[in-house]
Amino acid sequence: MKKSCGDETYEKFVVPCGNFSLKAQAVFAGGQTTAFSAEAALTKVTVPVNVDAIIFWFVHDAQKAALNITNYREAIDRAAQTLLREMIGSSMLASLLSERSATDELMRIEIGRKTSDWGISVKSVEIRDVAIPVALQDAMSRQAQAERGKQARVMLGSAEDAIAENSLRPP
């Protein structure tokens, strides 16, 4: 039985529990979000990172959500968190930082595969933040500065060579 309350739609099921008792469960049928994170998860190159993400999902089959899993909200959170840790562990830090949209889409597909049997569809997954240790941030900053300095010296050397070459030409 579907019931609306304002903009929200619920489906209510009576679920048999044993031979004599009944349990009523309301399943919210609108779009929902679940925030999840992985703290101090190690990347493929053993760099610890903290990653925050959010999943946008909805119940496409309220009967499955009520019958196939005890607590679908908690199960979505655990499945997403576990997959996030697996993704971090198999990723290089650089790709984790630079290829977020590809990671988001892969996670959406994988979480959706796990949750479809529970009557849940995943609309999208978004990695909101990837935090790396401060010491590593400092080291990466120094490396980037050194690289910019090297490029500046190469450009200066090229300019000096061009000036020297022009000054040696007869007028």
Contact 57, 32 (CB under 8 A): yes
CA atoms within 13 A on the CB side of 103: 28
Encode pLDDT of 48-87 as tens digits: 999 999 999 999 988 888 888 888 899 999 999 999 999 9
Encode pLDDT of 30-50 as tens digits: 789 999 999 888 889 888 999
**Residue 23 predicted with pLDDT over 60:** no
**Residue 10 predicted with pLDDT over 60:** no
Contact 72, 29 (CB under 8 A): no
| Closest C-alpha among 31, 163, 76, 64 to residue 84 | 76
Burial status of residue 104 (CB atoms within 10 A of its CB: 0-12, 13-18, 19 or more): middle
